[in-house]
Amino acid sequence: MTGMIQHIKGITSDSRDVKPGYLFAALKGTRFDGRDYIDEAVKNGATHILAPIGTKVPDHVTMIETNDVRREFALMTAEFYGEQPDNIIAVTGTNGKTSVVEFIRQIWEINGVKSASLGTLGLTSEHAEGHNIMTTPDPVKLHALLVDLKAAGVNHLAMESSSHGLHQYRLDGVKPRVAAFTNLSQDHLDYHETMGDYFAAKARLFTDILPRDGYAVVNIDDEYGRRLPRHELTFGTHPDAVMKLLSQTPTSTGQTIEVDYQSKQYSISLNLIGSFQAYNVLCAAGCCIMNGMDVEAVMVSLPKLHGVKGRVELAANIDDRAAYIDYAHTPDALEKILMALRPHVKGRLVCVFGAGGDRDKGKRPQMGRIAAEYADHVIITDDNPRTENPDKIRDDILSACPKAENIGDRRAAIARSVEILNAGDVLLVAGKGHEQGQIIGDTSHPFDDLTETRKAMEAKFK
């Protein structure tokens, strides 16, 4: 394969991007089949075609046949680009990925290490830029970025590893030194169909991608985490946890946690609200330690960590009324954030949320039940209805949360939630977090929960 890579001038799975001397990978997607675009790729100058066994190509083109085009494409892309940071930490799980990779980056930067994080929020780095980068980019965008990071002197990268990206082999060819597992709960079953399939996709990070001499950092409190084949460092409250969370005590602005690691106890004050954030911090700490950072240097960095945009983000705190926004859009995440905020509530906990259209419908009543149980007042609203009838989406949620208010317009729902806030109340606007749009049909309309919540709070109480 190495000799073949030396003879190509570029690699892509988009026939429109093909130039003379390129290799074109004929990937099969849900809507398009790359084999239908081979002629266009050849017309544009492709000299090599990667395609399923039995595919017909012109005689003057080099055919590369394989049973697994996606994985072979990823591996060939990695070989073509060659360079990548020497210290890559890949993090997977349903919830917490974004916070964990950002905490890892912050720990590195606090200790003078040039680093970056990559995921839902795009590329975050003080030393390099990346544009239009998705959670787990396609292999070409990913490896082009890895080369750029290396060239910029960024040799440490923490990256999210989505189940879609793992299932579609986008990370094959990446060489992480550490792989981490945060948790697994229901999400994306519109894509994976079953929890078993969902877990299998996540597990690929540990079975197929993490090198044998790498390290697995795993949440052992999670039943799926215990099923993983590798556990070089475990964290949680479980008796067998290597990094054990002994206790958590809420404070006005965060929490104090007691941690045992290697028979030494640490008392750490975190400026982060929520028990789940303690898990995210331990995961990040474990990753940095397994990647070779001094234990004491890691531990003294933890009180300096700050939260990620759109994750338990304070929108306003006026006249003894606090409003937070959060990205929680799964049953597990919604439950965790509501439970996290409860110790900080003197009055009522008010929750505004919805559920996305054209996505896993089974989680809607689950989220309704959770909101009814953990919040004192609930308002159901729209959250990216896409091509579905938004009334039907809200009805699915309301079936398990019948006492909730039903206000489809998200701006109006936020305004109503602020209108009813009393002194001592806490408001949570959940589901969109950092997102900057409301997707209705196929159009994304500008919308920012943080801005709308802050405006409503200031208009009412200032």
DSSP of 223-285, one letter per residue? HHHHHSS--SEEEESSTT-SEEEEEEEE-SSSEEEEEEETTEEEEEEES--SHHHHHHHHHHH
Q: pLDDT grade, residue 45 (50/70/90)?
A: very high
pLDDT for the residue numbered 185: 81
pLDDT at 179 over 70: yes
The pLDDT tens digits of the residues spanning 204-229 come to 999 999 999 999 999 999 999 999 99
Q: Are residue 190 and residue 49 in the same domain, yes or no?
A: no
The pLDDT tens digits of the residues spanning 222-262 come to 999 999 999 999 999 999 999 999 999 988 778 999 999 99
- The per-residue pLDDT of the chain, averaged, comes to 93
Q: Are residue 402 and residue 447 in the same domain, yes or no?
A: yes
Q: Are residue 73 and residue 46 in the same domain, yes or no?
A: yes
Which residue, among 198, 88, 99, 201, has the nearest Cα to 154 in the 3D structure?
A: 88
Task: Report the share of the chain in percent with pLDDT over 70.
Answer: 96
Count of other CB atoms within 10 angstroms of residue 67: 8
Amino acid at 301: S
Q: How many domains does the chain have?
A: 3
Q: Which helix (H) or strand (E) holds 79?
A: helix 69-81
Q: Which of 260, 278, 304 is the last residue of a domain?
A: 304
pLDDT at 126 over 60: yes
Q: Are residue 109 and residue 161 in the same domain, yes or no?
A: yes
> How far is 117 from 423, CA to CA, in rounded Å?
39
| CATH number for position 270 | 3.40.1190.10
Q: Are residue 286 and residue 344 in the same domain, yes or no?
A: no
Q: Are residue 74 and residue 90 in the same domain, yes or no?
A: no
Q: Which of 271, 304, 337 is the last residue of a domain?
A: 304
- The length of the chain in residues reads 462
Q: Are residue 211 and residue 256 in the same domain, yes or no?
A: yes
pLDDT top residue among 192 and 162: 162
Q: pLDDT grade, residue 393 (50/70/90)?
A: very high
pLDDT at 187 over 90: no
Q: Are residue 418 and residue 434 in the same domain, yes or no?
A: yes
Q: Are residue 93 and residue 70 in the same domain, yes or no?
A: no
The pLDDT tens digits of the residues spanning 55-88 come to 989 989 999 999 999 999 999 999 999 999 999 9
pTM: 0.82
The pLDDT tens digits of the residues spanning 318-336 come to 999 999 999 999 998 899 8
Q: Which of 79, 101, 136 is the last residue of a domain?
A: 79
| CATH number for position 351 | 3.90.190.20
Q: Are residue 261 and residue 198 in the same domain, yes or no?
A: yes
| CATH number for position 37 | 3.40.1390.10
Name the residue range of residue 387's domain.
313-461
Q: Are residue 48 and residue 109 in the same domain, yes or no?
A: no
Q: Are residue 164 and residue 278 in the same domain, yes or no?
A: yes
List strand residue ranges (DSSP E) for 251-393, in order.
255-261, 264-270, 313-318, 321-326, 349-353, 377-380
